Chain A
Amino acid sequence: MVRYVIKRVLLMLLTFFIIISACFLLIRLLPNVPAQQFGKDMSLVLQRRVRQGLVDSAGNPIPLMSQYWHFISRTLIGGDWGVSESLYIGQDCMQIFVSKLPSTILLNLYSMIFAVPLGLALGIYAALKKNKWQDHVISTGVMIFVSVPSYVYAFLVQYLLCFKFKLFPLVMNSGTKYFTWSMFHSMLPAVLSLSFGSIAGFARYTRAELTEVLTSEYLLLARTKGLTKAQTTSRHALRNAMVVIFPMIIGEFIGIIGGSLIIENIFVVPGVGPLYINSITALDYNFFMLLSAFYTIIGLASGILIDLSYGFIDPRIRIGSKANGKY
């Protein structure tokens, strides 16, 4: 098990390294934006470029492979991602990124807090009422919410709740007072829009798994032993259904750090998503590199965690052995 985890993590780091190297080289192949172009605080940008080893002390670009070497040693290992060159000129990328992180995480955490219990509850209810009208209503709703892109109901939420009925402000509050009521209130539309999809996803998986488990023979045995329906469902069926659902929750939890670019954009959340989009439109390559690395590592890590969580929750699944469906 431990060997398998180590192997997976090392492989992940290798994959990450290759991706980020390709990214770096592709970005550096683009015409370099001369530091003088930006006007103020240029000495800072220039100094930082020199420190990162992208240019020589006179400000001229050095050969690509030396840049790459400096990138590995100073950025990947040393953690110096440079300063913003067009968005927040002269400010440290890492600092800005870290300052943006809380609102993204908080937003997605709230949406998870909404989505997991609600999704599970709906799924369980639908499974217990299989093929009755309650199930049909829930399944239809789930179908719609799973397929319709989240931005469509983000628009609906924004138009109906924020504009028509004026229940919430149109965009999220800026600032850093994250745990005040007004901040939470302003976050709610985004949280709602984010959680609809997750609720539907959880409900769908829970229903599918639970209906399968509910028809199995050991449940019949449990009922014949004299357990009530509630007991069999909660103690036997749900636990087994969780084998599939729990990794999904784990995956979502990792995903919450990544957030949703488009929802954050619609509700003007002062988070990582809009920062990334702005860095692309403003051609702020340092930010682009940092955030690309961030999103890449989140994607890779969530893949590993999902795989591992199968093994943790269900000892029957022996990870790393050949029989584990890995061809």
Chain B
Amino acid sequence: MANINDYKNIPADKFRFTNNRSSSDEKFKTKQLGFLGDAWIRFRKNKSSIVAACIIAILVVYAIVGPILGSTNYTKNLKDTTYLTYTKLLPKSKLFSWLGWDGCSKSQIAEANYVYYNAITQETGYDVIKKVYSTETTSDGKNLYNVSIDSYISNGFLYMTLTQEQYEDIQAWQDETGLQIIYPAITTKNVKDANIWYEADAKGVAKLKNGQLVDVYKTSGNDGDYHSLRIAGDPGLEDATAAKRYRYATITGDSSSISYKCRVFKYTYFQYRYGYEPSFLFGTNSLGQDIFTRLAAGARFSFIFAICISAVNLFIGAIIGAIEGYYGGLIDLILERVMDILNGVPFIVVATLFQLHLAKKVGPVWSLLFAFVVTGWIGMASSVRMQFYRFKGREYVLAARTLGARDRRLMFKHIFPNSLGTLITGCVMVIPGVIFSESSLTYLGIINLESSTMTSVGTMLANGKDYLASYPHIIFFPAMFIALLEVSFNLFGNGLRDAFNPALRGADE
């Protein structure tokens, strides 16, 4: 027999259950429900929040895949837009053209403009004016036309200087497809507009002869033996060597670096250059950039930026709030004063100071991020602090401390999870707040995030405001995006708050 006092090593078989009862607790009849699962059940009941969450999901998906989906040769060649200047095109969608989403705009134009647009149609065969609704005659005898204008065609021509290779290549493409890009060169000196191929005064108003436009095509000089499509009425159509044939280019430079200055029709040139017919879902902006991809890129930037700030704020705020709330006393007092002071600075002042000091060193994005972080953690910290004050005196914390838990464990394992609900809601609500502030600041021009590869929604708003009256679509889509985002985040945040607020538990609305 072993030592009876050796109670540390009592053999297991000496033990038995008193009344054949199993030692484990009774099994749960229902499934276990965690913190998040519980919140999810409550969240699901809130229909508007679900809808809002779906809209947010769509916007996020748009931000992620938009730049990929919308990526074409045109959007990839960022520098092209500057010389092609295919600007301010209206939104056009083949699918929804019957809804008026066809790149056309209704407007009232004067006689001179009517002639101007018709001249483009006469030369190219593409209809600028899709429809004439009505004509009016003003009291002083001038005609006004209510028409629908196709912005893709009315953009018309531009002068382009081509190299020998490009010149030949375009001609080959013309022969292949039967679409004309290069139109005859013109001789007028007094108008710079490439669209005016007819006699006109200095203002560009056509001088009619028997109600007809009089062309001013160049009929002399060298055009490098243009051998492709010719427009109707060209004597060169029958005889390519006719002396009076239209010339399609003006040659500059010497024979070693010869260049051809041509009148290029943007609509067909676009097809030649990028391989598809121009059609922009959201139109193009004042620089000719595609708004669909640009907005998606801006949204992507805004989302990533906001999420980063939210994460950093959460991290800093949680730690500082926990320390403040747990230890209290002097630390709390000092940190409270610091927070008061930081809270008192208007955000615009912070952003400006950071911009002035840091933007040149680390770039505008980083300086803006710092500005958001410097003041952003305060909200998180105070909500964490509040929860700590509420829970640090509870019995379970005392019990844990009695069992020997250290401060760090008490803080982050036992007390901190209580503030998770408010923190999650807070974190989510930081995102629309940051996007709103960022868009305001960029709109006001304090921060400039614009570059050929980067943009933000606020920048797009700022760029569009000059064209609000004439081309509202440039500002419409970014504004809609922001509006949709803010509304759905607000609804979503409300839903989250209700779901995580245990006070509502069991209470049906």
Contact = CB atoms under 8 A, between A and B. Distances in A.
Interface of A: 11, 15-16, 18-19, 23, 26-27, 29-30, 143-144, 146-149, 151-152, 155, 158-159, 163, 170, 261-262, 265-266, 276-277, 280-281, 283, 288, 292, 295-296, 299-300, 327
B490 A146 contact: yes
A296 B482 contact: no
A155 B468 contact: yes
Nearest to A258: B346
B436 interface: yes
Closest 3 CB pairs of A and B: A147-B490, A147-B486, A147-B487
B357 A26 contact: yes
Interface of B: 340-341, 344-346, 348-349, 352-353, 356-357, 385-386, 389, 432, 436, 439-440, 443-446, 461, 465, 468-469, 472, 475, 479, 482-483, 486-487, 489-491
A144 B468 contact: no
B444 A277 contact: yes
A159 B483 contact: no
B487 to A, nearest CB: 4
A266 B356 contact: no
A15 to B, nearest CB: 5
Q: Indicate the member of A26, A144, A155 with the most B CB atoms within 10 Å.
A: A155
Contact of A23 (B349, B445, B468, B489): B349
A277 B446 contact: yes
B445 A296 contact: no
Contacts of B461: 151
A232 to B, nearest CB: 25
A139 to B, nearest CB: 10
Nearest to B48: A143
A170 B439 CA distance: 22
A121 B353 CA distance: 42
A288 B468 CA distance: 30
Given A26-B357, A261-B348, A296-B345, A151 B443 contact: yes
A16 B341 CA distance: 8
Given A26-B353, A300-B344, A151 B446 contact: no
A155 B445 contact: no
A93 B479 CA distance: 35
A23 B353 contact: yes
B486 A149 contact: yes
B487 A295 contact: no
A104 to B, nearest CB: 15
A262 B472 contact: no
B440 A280 contact: no
Given A149-B439, A280-B352, A296-B346, 18 more contacts: A11-B340, A23-B353, A147-B432, A147-B487, A148-B483, A149-B436, A149-B486, A151-B440, A152-B483, A155-B465, A155-B468, A261-B348, A276-B348, A277-B445, A292-B346, A292-B349, A295-B348, A295-B349
B440 A19 contact: no
Contact of B357 (A29, A159, A295): A29
A85 B42 CA distance: 59
Nearest to A160: B472
Contacts of A159: 468-469, 472
Contacts of B445: 277, 281
25 contacts: A15-B340, A19-B341, A23-B353, A27-B356, A29-B357, A143-B490, A144-B487, A147-B486, A151-B443, A155-B465, A155-B468, A155-B479, A158-B468, A170-B469, A261-B440, A261-B444, A262-B440, A266-B465, A276-B348, A280-B352, A292-B346, A295-B349, A299-B344, A327-B385, A327-B389
